A and B are shown apart, each in its own frame.
Chain A
Amino acid sequence: MKVTWSRRHVLETDDWSREEIEHVLDTANGMLEVLSRPIRRAPPLRGRTVILFFAEASTRTRVSFELAAKALSADVVNITATGSSVEKGESLLDTARTLEALGGDVLVIRHGSSGAPYFVAQRVGAAVINAGDGAHAHPTQGLLDAYTLRAKLGDLAGKRIVVVGDVLHSRVARSDINALVPLGARVTLSGPPTLLPAAWRCGDLPSGVGYEPDVDRALDGADGVIALRLQRERQEAGLLPSIREYARTWGLTEPRVATMRPGAPVMHPGPMNEGVEIDAAVAHGARSLIEEQVTNGVAVRMALLYLLIAGGEPRLIVGAEPPTSIAGGEPPATPLPTGVV
């Protein structure tokens, strides 16, 4: 079916339709094809600028966006927190003004405060992509997880995906819900009661989402599981008796994941604490799609950059010939990261 792309920003997918999400995932299919070429580069965003503003350190997500932008031949400007005016106490308002002055077609923002991308999007002309804001959202992660699950399981309608861990502080959990539920999947949250938002724990949950504190019951017959990273500070904050107890009670072990449906995949947004939320044998085992998540992340981000910049224009490059015209001059893009950093 024909979808007209009308999104100006990618701030969170909570109000996206199934068709919009599928359109992004379908577009990412074509991008994955570009990434499989010997020279991972296509020309559609040549002359366009993508600004990466990371006010919170995250090499993985930043590199993924950088590779995505470069694979579409966009120019990339990096602004990181360390050493920048952000660290010197510049206000977000001043930063937004600076970013606006720099121009740029797309502004990718990672920020420690929930809602910061909305604040910036109101004050700049560029399209804004939220690369993670506080405990609120990480929509490109949600979309890449949806992409990875769909590639493995096919239609997600009726599929049950378990998200286990520190849901309270997790922007990934929220964005997974907001990407998977519109596709027809059900999400079962599991984890310690103190690491679930109180309202959700008490039954006031988004539609399509349930809570099962017992991870063994949650995993039984599930179609897939996403483990969340556990920050060690949660123990000091009085939210957990101990990391050891957490690992024993909610950590993904081989016997636990074996109770899912045959072949049901295991995912993790990274970086992992092996031996805490996930055992090494599971992280590197046959069910693990953790490496695929990394590659798919680049493809999904390419799709979003492409749609935001050229989405209204009918010059889709997907399926086009390899970009021989630039092959002579351009070195291959940085190799894709494989494995887990």
Chain B
Amino acid sequence: MTTFDRRALEAAGYLVVPGFIDLHVHLREPGFEDSETIASGARAALRGGFTTVCAMPNTEPAIDSPGLIAELVARAKAANAARVLPVATITRGRKGKELADLVELAAAGAVAFSDDGSPVDDARLFRSALEYARAADRPVLEHPQDLALSARGVMHEGRVSADLGLPGIPAAAEEAAIARDLALAKLSGARLHLQHVSTARSVELVRRAKADGLAVTCEVTPHHLALTDAWVAGDRTVAWEGRPSPRATPFDASTKVNPPLRTEGDVRALWDALADGTIDAIATDHAPHASVKKDVEYDLAAFGISGLETALPLLLGGVDAGWAALDTVIAALTTGPARVLGIDVPDDDWTVVDRAATWIVTAAGLASKGKNTPLLGRELRGRVVMSVVGGDVRYEGDLRAAPLAVR
């Protein structure tokens, strides 16, 4: 095993930064091990430079008891890959009917609460959850979505959904939920964290709430920062590319994700919000799926993109395009998420990046069991070559003798 020598790596031209913290991953275990396991997901995390990941509790059974948290922690430790921080459900069984035992869950090690994927529709219950989470000194990670408005939608509602004849999810489904959540956060004084914000108006609402002094934070995913709804129609142009990429077949279910890929205007607004600090963290919402859930009709396919291993190169593309500074992006991958959780950045976790390396995304090349990414076959620039957890080199990739310097 190589040892981690920061000075030597930097001298060789690598970018060495604190290990990334991902507030939002789906490890699928227990219950959906054909899609991902704690071990495969934690290894995929290291490949992407994420030395810490927060595991969403929408497993089967859902993580809503101290015993399940203990089991999760034990399995993650055995995997000996990225650190896995357990997130517990807000409501028992994620059913949105009654609160889980939030105080006990926090004591058992839950770093936050979330019913991700199934927003708590009942505003009174959600208010109670916020009050309890405040008492337990944990943030509530909320998936903002008005279920009545999003209804049977499968992509962003806009010009592309109109042309394709696919039912749309309007931006307002997210914005209306955020407006409600912000009102309840103000009422309770709790730490509210909004997951995967995806629209221009969503970040504007958060910007104003922050200006009003609310304890609200939010995250954005790399795919919402790079891709648009045009991808559903077969366009493969990354938001900052001037020249259109060759077209792919439309209706490819790898582009189906919730919240859906939005418009170019939304993408620009998300970068602006990242740059001005409205967005606190970049989180992948890594959502691996077995091929049987994705290799189907668009409307029947599961939502989600396998995102851990492609996150950094996508983000570096935006940096190279001048849409945000490298420091801003790195902060949103490290100190930002740590602040959301109220933890310190582990002081001996490191990520080593070869910014000039190019590589092609292939199913076989992904450590995740989820091959569901619309980036398959695409050449990306920038690659994580080493991940260090607690001083221990847990992943080592293709370390070249002398990486090319990047402008």
Q: Which residues of A does B touch, CB under 8 Å?
A: 14, 91-93, 111, 113-116, 118-119, 122, 133-137, 169, 171, 174, 197-200, 204, 206
Contacts and interface: CB of A to CB of B under 8 A. Distances in A.
Interface string B344-388: 000000000000000000000000000000000000000000000
B291 to A, nearest CB: 9
Nearest to B247: A15
Interface in B238-268: 249-251
B299 interface: yes
A116 B297 contact: yes
B86 interface: no
Contacts of B123: none
30 contacts: A91-B292, A91-B295, A91-B296, A111-B297, A113-B299, A114-B165, A115-B164, A115-B251, A115-B298, A116-B251, A116-B297, A118-B250, A119-B251, A119-B297, A122-B249, A133-B165, A134-B166, A134-B299, A135-B165, A135-B167, A136-B164, A136-B165, A197-B162, A197-B168, A198-B157, A200-B159, A200-B162, A204-B158, A204-B159, A204-B162
Given A118-B251, A171-B165, A198-B168, 14 more contacts: A91-B296, A111-B297, A114-B299, A115-B164, A119-B251, A119-B298, A135-B167, A136-B165, A169-B165, A174-B165, A197-B162, A199-B159, A199-B161, A204-B158
B337 interface: no
B368 to A, nearest CB: 21
Contact of A198 (B162, B249, B298): B162
A91 B251 CA distance: 17
Interface in B282-301: 292, 295-300
Contacts of B300: 113
A135 B251 contact: no
Contacts of B164: 114-115, 136
Contacts of A204: 158-159, 162
Contacts of B298: 113-115, 119
A197 B161 contact: yes
B295 A136 contact: no
Contact of A137 (B158, B165, B170, B292): B165
B163 interface: yes
A85 to B, nearest CB: 15
Nearest to A121: B249
Contacts of A206: 163
A148 to B, nearest CB: 23
B94 to A, nearest CB: 26
A204 B157 CA distance: 12
Nearest to A171: B165
A115 B170 contact: no
Contacts of B159: 199-200, 204
A225 B296 CA distance: 37
B162 A115 contact: no
Contacts of A118: 249-251
Contact of A115 (B167, B168, B295, B297): B297
A190 to B, nearest CB: 16
B166 A136 contact: yes
Contacts of B166: 114-115, 134-136
Nearest to B154: A114
Contacts of B167: 135
Nearest to A120: B297
Contact of B251 (A93, A114, A174): A114
A111 B296 CA distance: 13
Contacts of B296: 91-93, 119
A300 to B, nearest CB: 21
Given A114-B251, A118-B249, A199 B295 contact: no
A121 B298 CA distance: 14
A206 B159 CA distance: 9
A224 B159 CA distance: 26
A200 B298 CA distance: 22
Contacts of A136: 164-166
A115 B298 CA distance: 7
A171 B166 CA distance: 11
A114 B167 CA distance: 9
Contacts of A93: 295-296
A273 B233 CA distance: 33
Given A115-B251, A118-B250, A174 B299 contact: no
Contacts of B157: 198-199
B170 A92 contact: no
A242 B277 CA distance: 49
A47 B161 CA distance: 41
A199 B168 CA distance: 11
B317 to A, nearest CB: 27
A183 B362 CA distance: 42
Interface string B9-22: 00000000000000
A122 B164 CA distance: 18
A108 B386 CA distance: 51
The 7 tightest CB contacts between A and B, nearest first, are: A115-B251, A197-B162, A135-B165, A136-B165, A113-B297, A199-B159, A199-B162
A247 to B, nearest CB: 25
B211 to A, nearest CB: 30
Contacts of A113: 297-300
B230 to A, nearest CB: 13
B154 to A, nearest CB: 9
A92 to B, nearest CB: 6
A14 B164 CA distance: 10
A31 to B, nearest CB: 28
Contacts of B161: 197, 199
